[in-house]
Structure 1
Amino acid sequence: MQYNNISNKTTNLIAIVFLSIMFVTACLSYLNDSTTMDELAHISAGYSYLSQQDFRINPEHPPLIKDLAALPLMFLNLNFPSESSAWTDDINGQWELGWNFLYNSNNNPEQILFWSRLAMVLTLVFLAWFLFFWVRKEFGNKLAIFVLTLFSFSPSFIAHGRLVTTDVGATLGFVLALYFWLKFLRNPSKKNVIVAGLIFGFSMLLKFSLILLLPLFGIITLVYVLLNKKNLLKYIGLSILIGVIGTIFMILPVYQLHV
Structure 2
Amino acid sequence: MTRHSSTAIGIIAAVVIIAVSSVWNDAPIVDEVPHIGAGYTYVKKGSLLFNPEHPPLPKDLAGLPLLTLDIDQTIYNRTYEGNWGSDVNGQWNFGRTLIFHSGVDATAMVHRAKLPMLFFFITSAWLVFHWARKRYSPSAGLLALFLFAFSPTVIAHSRLVTTDIPALWGVLVATYFFVRWLKDPGDGWRSRNFWLAALAFGFAQLAKFSLFLLWPYLLLVAVIWGFINGHVFKTAWRGLLTMIVGFIVVIGPVYQLHLINYEGFQQKSDAVIILKDSPYRQASDLVIWASDKPVLRPYAAYAMGLLMVFQRASGGNTTYFLGDVYTSADKLYFPIVYALKEPIPFLILLLLAIVAAFAHKNSKRNRLRGWLADHFDETVMLIWIALYWGTSITANLNIGVRHMLPVYGFTAILIAGQFDRIKTVFSATRHKFFVYRVSMIVLLGWLAIETLSIFPYYLTYFNQFALIRPSWTASQDGYVPGGHNYVVDSNLDWGQDLKRLADWAEKNNVQRINLDYFGWADQTYYLKDRFFWMTRGRYTTKEEFLID
**Do these two structures clear the TM 0.5 threshold for a shared fold by scoring above it?**
yes
Q: 1:23 touches 1:122 (CA, 8 Å); kept in 2?
A: no
Question: Which secondary structure state, in structure 2, belongs to the residue aligned with residue 35 of structure 1?
Answer: coil
Q: Distance in 1 between matches of 2:70 and 2:103?
A: 11
Counterpart of 1:3 in structure 2 is none
Q: 1:222 aligns to what?
A: 223
State the superposition RMSD in angstroms: 1.6
Counterpart of 1:77 in structure 2 is 70
Q: Tell me by how many angstroms 1:66 deviates.
A: 0.5
Q: Do the aligned residues in 1 keep the contact of 2:41 with 2:47 (CA within 8 Å)?
A: yes
1:13, distance to aligned residue in structure 2 (A): 2.6
For 1:131-210, list aligned pairs within 5 A: 131-189=128-186, 190=188, 191=191, 192-210=193-211
What is the rounded CA distance, in whole Å, between the counterparts of 1:14 and 1:52 in structure 2?
Answer: 42
Summarize deviations over 1:120-140 as a string: whole Å, max 9, x none. Answer: 123212211121111111212
Q: Does 1:243 align with 2:243?
A: yes
Q: Tell me, what secondary structure is at the counterpart of 1:34?
A: coil
Whether the 8 Å CA contact 2:69–2:104 is kept in 1: the answer is: no
Moved more, 242-251 or 165-174: 242-251
The structure carrying a bigger helix percent of its residues is 1
**SS of the residue aligned with 1:85?**
coil
Question: Whole-Å Cα distance in 2 between the matches of residues 209 and 128 of structure 1?
Answer: 21
Shift of 1:148: 0.9
Tell me if 1:127 matches 2:127: no
Identify the residue that residue 212 of structure 2 maps to in structure 1. 211
Change (3 A) 1:127 1:164: same
Is 1:64 the counterpart of 2:65? The answer is no
1:110 alignment partner, one of 107, 112, 118:
107
Q: Which runs of 5+ in 2 are unaligned?
A: 260-548
Deviates more, 1:10-19 or 1:177-186: 10-19
- Aligned counterparts of 1:99 and 1:26: Cα–Cα separation in 2: 24
The aligned amino acid for 2:224 is V
Instruction: Find out whether 1:39 has 2:40 as its counterpart.
Output: no
Distance in 1 (alpha carbons) for counterparts of 2:246 and 2:33: 30
Please give the alpha-carbon distance, in whole angstroms, between the structure 1 residues aligned to 2:119 and 2:240: 32
Contact 2:226 2:233 in 1 (8 A): no
Distance 2:68 2:167 in 1: 26
After superposition, the C-alpha distances for 1:210-243 in whole angstroms (9 at most, x for unaligned) are 01011111222222222x2321221122123212
Structure 1 runs, 4 residues or longer, greater than 3 Å off: none
Contact 1:37 1:95 in 2 (8 A): no
Secondary structure at 2:52's aligned position in 1?
coil
Give the distance between the partners of 2:72 and 2:147, measured in 1 at CA: 41
Partner amino acid, structure 2, of 1:20? A
Question: 1:245 Cα shift?
Answer: 1.6
Greater C-alpha Rg: 2
CA offsets, 1:198-219, max 9 Å, x none? Answer: 1111111111110101111122
The gaps in structure 1 that reach 5 residues or longer are: 1-7
Q: Is the 8 A contact 1:54 1:258 kept in 2?
A: yes
Q: Is the 8 A contact 1:22 1:125 kept in 2?
A: no
In the TM superposition, residue 90 of structure 1 has moved relative to its aligned partner by 4.6
Identity in percent: 36
Aligned to 2:381: none
TM-score normalised according to structure 2 size: 0.44
CA–CA distance in structure 2, aligned partners of residues 246 and 208 of structure 1: 15
Among residues 75, 80, 86, which one is paired with 1:86 in the alignment? 80
- Spell out, residue by residue over 1:72-125, the C-alpha distance to the aligned partner (whole angstroms, 9 max, x if none): 1112222241122118x9514111101101111221111111111100123212
Contact 1:43 1:116 in 2 (8 A): yes
Q: Distance in 2 between matches of 1:122 and 1:9?
A: 23
